[in-house]
Amino acid sequence: MNDGAQGLSWHGQIPCEIALSAYDVVDLAAPAPVHLMLPRMSYLHAAASSAVDALRQSSLVASASSVWFSVDKTPQRFNLPVGVLFDIHQLKNGVRENSETIRHLPWRLTVHFSSYPADVLLGYDQDVPRHFFSQQLKQALFLEHGNARVGMGITQENSEQMWGAVGEGDFETYKIVNDKVVADYELGEMKHEEFDTRSEQQKHTDEVRAQMDAEREAAERKEWGEAEETEGGNLRKREINSVPVRVIIGDGEQKLIQKPVAATKTLGEVLEQFLGDGGGGTDRVINGLFGVPDDTFITELWRSCQSADHFLYVVVKA
């Protein structure tokens, strides 16, 4: 993975102001809103739990099973990363370039403890956000590898560690667990290969060849630099079966579209695939970035801007 760019993505935070819904206030005066920085890669319920706990004190209905957030009276989906929700909000409010983002800060959210909008949001209880994150991660890994084995290798402990890291926007911990999961899978693949029918001599020859290829590629990378790593959109480290990409149409019902995406495609080609003719020219925002060129390889974007669930979210204007 492109750790540098992905690490920068993870350090992105959004200044927020969280207020208690007027319908839930039981004190004579509404409590002061809570100001905090929400990590882009996190999820509302994980990242804003301290604010929720503080505001809960002033609410009569404090059931954990009905906590939800809204922005401008629009309920926010808890299964989308904070950054994606903010990008939807920006596009909806006519932001077209990064310099305009500042006008919409702090991002004003309202937390509710009653009147859960079950017709709009998925069913919620305390453990549901982590469960959805885990399932989305497995789905993305299935697309990446073309099978379920990596996802199935995620233990309960791995899942809890990743969710904890996501909640705190802690890229270092997330990366350690994420890399371990993939490394365990690759180790399993190697063990699986021990049962192959090649002769010892053939295995040795293949290993020597693989070692020589790796050394040659390393030398080429050193000579040609980072750009050479993904020439043609092909991944250097391992082949990708399909790039996990989701397109969200940022207006109205915020429809989410998912299709298999070949690793060799550009952003423009992907938008044409998802949205039909003319899709490439659509206003879009990716991980807070406006104006990403159509000819950017989708794998480059995915490496740099993928969310913690391994999906690349592209928010487009309807």
Partner 1 sequence: MSEAASSSTPPAPPPNPPDPKVKIYLMPVGSAPILKRSKFKVSASSPWSQLVMFVRKQLALAPDASLHLYLGSAFSPNMDEQVGGLSECFRVGEELQVQYSIQEAWG
Q: Are 78 and 120 in contact (CB under 8 A)?
A: no
User: x-or-dash pattern for partner 1, window 71-90, by CB under 8 A?
Assistant: ------x-x-----------
Which of 135, 234 has the CB closer to partner 1?
Answer: 135
Residue 90 and residue 283: Cα distance in Å, rounded?
11
| x/- letters, 244..283, toward partner 1 (CB under 8 A) | ------------xxxxx-----------------------
Asked if 151 touches partner 1 (CB under 8 A), the answer is yes
Side-chain half-sphere exposure of 10, counting CA atoms within 13 A: 21
Comparison of 58 and 242: residue with beta carbon closer to partner 1: 242
Does residue 235 contact residue 145 with C-beta atoms inside 8 Å?
no
> What is the rounded CA–CA span in Å between residue 95 and residue 291?
11
Measured distance between the N- and C-terminal CA atoms of the chain, rounded to whole angstroms: 31
Among 98, 115, 135, 202, binds partner 1 (CB under 8 A): 135
| Smallest separation (angstroms) from partner 1 to the CB of 139 | 5
**Judged by CB under 8 A, does residue 69 bind partner 1?**
no
182 binds partner 1 (CB under 8 A): no
Residues 89-118 close enough to bind partner 1 by CB under 8 A: none
Helices (H), the chain: 3-11, 44-47, 49-56, 82-92, 128-145, 149-152, 156-168, 171-193, 200-224, 267-275, 298-305
- Does residue 161 interact with partner 1 by CB under 8 A? no
Does 313 bind partner 1 (CB under 8 A)? Our answer is: no
How near is the Cβ of 92 to partner 1 at its closest, in Å? 18
Rounded least distance, CB 159 to partner 1, Å = 8
Cα–Cα nearest to 242, from 312, 143, 150: 143
| CA gap 228, 39 in Å, rounded | 31
- The two tokens of residue 170 are 């802690």
Q: How far is the CB of 152 from partner 1 (least distance, A)?
A: 6
User: What residues make contact with partner 1 under the rule CB under 8 A?
Assistant: 77, 79, 122-123, 132, 134-136, 138-139, 142-143, 147-148, 151-152, 156, 159, 242, 256-260
